[in-house]
Amino acid sequence: MSELYTEYHPRWLRTRVSTYWWLQRRSYLTFIARELSSVFVAWFVVYLLRLIRAVAQGPLAYQQFLESSAQPAVLLLNLLTLFFVVFHATTWFNLAPQAIVARFRGQRLHGSLIAASNYAAWVVTSAIVAWLVLGA
Amino acid sequence: MADRIALQVARYRPEQDSEVTFQDYEVPCQKEWVVLDGLNYIKDHVDGTLSYRWSCRMGICGSCGMTVNGEPKLTCATFLTDYGAGPVRIEPLRNFPIIRDLVVEIGDFLRKLTRVKPWIVRQEEKPLADGEYLQTPQELDEYKQFSMCINCMLCYAACPIYGLDPKFIGPAAIALAQRYNLDSRDEGARERRAVLSEHEGIWGCTFVGECTKVCPKNVDPAGAIQRYKLSAAIETLQSFFLPWGGR
């Protein structure tokens, strides 16, 4: 059977994937939400870079940045961003055990330990950042 | 428990149909009957024209994969009683061309499978007199999970990426490539990398993860793909920063 014959076989029925395939299963929807969350992660990075630039430029620029951040639209966007960044991070950490194989004394570590170590690193990093921002 | 259960079976007869239609049947619902038993009952007693694939009846041959109430399932391992009073909707595996009724065309998968060389590749075979290639239990453990794949293609039916881009090499072929890459006796990783590193190889996967969820043998193809991505990325970095060694 030639390749061409296989590809254009007239009698085989080929069904097209629906444009709304991602609504057919909850897991597909979660996947699409995870992919979309990247946009909010990108906005978060841009926002952070703008904050750093404002701090570097001096008190006036920083004050202007705080005022622009207090606008309701920006607040709403940042609240939405917080939700999606947390969603992105948790789905990432939950998937990490499937990608990483770690061993301790020759024994393969259970996936939950890999996820737990990711979460622990997240908590410690957040605590350090909180200490720097609030405590220093 | 009801005595009988309704089955809605997808029919496609290429000589007369231009799309899938559904035909209703009623079959006995016995405690130990699986969906495949229901189909066999139809074939033997009700309608001999129904076409579907099956062979071993015990989850080994991977022939009887179908879509049962929207989920990719091995029909020999899916009990009718789990669907209460029914009806149970039985369709062909998604993402494959339909040849007739519940029979799909699997040539695309078989061609892709061959491309990743799912066999032990040796650069040089050692003489028979030197005996077997020995492995420790740890070395066996490295790939054993992936060796459980029975080529049932449920993972392809569950993968929206394969549905949208049929060029994607797909979950089972990559998992089986990893099965041999991780085998201590194998020396073919470099040859497989050429296929796996293509755009339609591992990088086509966006980690939906459904392949792993539907796998009846707990192979975890999604894990195999992500592990390969990680090792491919590390190898690329090593070849960039340590061009004289590090492989």
Q: In B, residues 111-140, which contact A (CB 8 Å cutoff)?
A: 138
Distance from CA of B124 to the nearest CA of A (A): 30
pLDDT tens digits along B100-146: 999 999 999 999 999 999 999 999 988 999 999 999 998 999 999 99
Residue-level pLDDT at B245:
60
**Residues of chain B found within 8 Å of residue A100, distances taken between Cβ atoms:** 227, 230
Domain B107-241 has CATH 1.10.1060.10: yes
**Which class is domain B4-104?**
alpha beta
- DSSP-derived 3-state class of residue B104: strand
Averages of pLDDT over runs of 10 residues in chain A (136 residues) are 55 90 92 95 96 95 95 96 95 90 84 93 94 84
User: In this complex, is the C-beta atom of B227 within 8 Å of any C-beta atom belonging to chain A?
Assistant: yes
**Residues of chain A found within 8 Å of residue B212, distances taken between Cβ atoms:** 98
Residue-level pLDDT at A133:
86
Tokens 């009957």 sit at which residue? B33
Residue B208 · residue B182 · CB < 8 Å? no
Task: Tell me the domain boundaries of chain B.
Answer: 4-104, 107-241
Residue A115 lies in a domain: no
Give the pTM: 0.89
Chain A residues with CB within 8 Å of chain B CB: 1, 6, 9, 11-15, 17, 21-22, 24-25, 27-28, 31, 35, 95, 98-101, 106, 108
Confirm whether B4-104 and B107-241 share one CATH topology: no
Taking the C-alpha atoms of residue B44 and residue B51, their distance in angstroms, rounded to an integer, is: 12
What distance, in Å, lies between the first and last C-alpha atoms of chain B? Answer: 61
Q: Could you give the maximum distance between any two Cα atoms of chain A, in Å?
A: 75
Cβ–Cβ gap B12/A106 under 8 Å:
no
**Residues of chain B found within 8 Å of residue A35, distances taken between Cβ atoms:** 206
Cα dihedral B138/B143/B148/B149 (nearest 10): 180
**Residues of chain A found within 8 Å of residue B141, distances taken between Cβ atoms:** 108
Full pLDDT tens readout for chain B, 247 residues: 678 999 999 999 998 999 999 999 999 999 999 999 999 999 999 999 999 999 999 999 999 999 999 999 999 999 999 998 889 999 999 999 999 999 999 999 999 999 999 999 999 988 999 999 999 998 999 999 999 999 999 999 999 999 999 999 999 999 999 999 999 999 999 999 999 998 899 999 999 999 999 999 999 999 999 999 998 888 888 888 887 764 4
**Residues of chain A found within 8 Å of residue B226, distances taken between Cβ atoms:** 95, 98-99
Residue A59 lies in a domain: yes
Taking the C-alpha atoms of residue B60 and residue B55, their distance in angstroms, rounded to an integer, is: 9
**ipTM, interface predicted TM-score of the complex:** 0.82
CATH code: domain of residue A60: 1.20.1300.10
Residue A130 lies in a domain: no
Cβ–Cβ gap B107/A6 under 8 Å:
yes
Least Cα distance to A92 among A23, A29, A30 occurs for A30
Taking the C-alpha atoms of residue B226 and residue A77, their distance in angstroms, rounded to an integer, is: 32
- According to DSSP, the residues that pair with B28 across neighbouring strands are B4
Neighbours of B245 (CB within 10 A): 7
Q: Residue A110: which region, alpha, beta or left (left: phi > 0; alpha: psi -120 to 50)?
A: beta
Token output for B123: 């650069």
The b/e string for B168-187 (b: 16+ C-beta within 10 A; e otherwise) is bbbbbbbbbbbbbbbbeebe
Handedness of CA B152, B155, B157, B163 (dihedral sign): negative
Residue of chain B nearest A24, judged by CA positions? B70
Handedness of CA A77, A80, A84, A85 (dihedral sign): positive
User: In this complex, is the C-beta atom of B71 within 8 Å of any C-beta atom belonging to chain A?
Assistant: no
The whole domain housing A80 covers 3-99
Domain tally, chain A: 1
Tell me the average pLDDT of chain B. 93
Residue A52 lies in a domain: yes
Residue of chain B nearest A105, judged by CA positions? B138
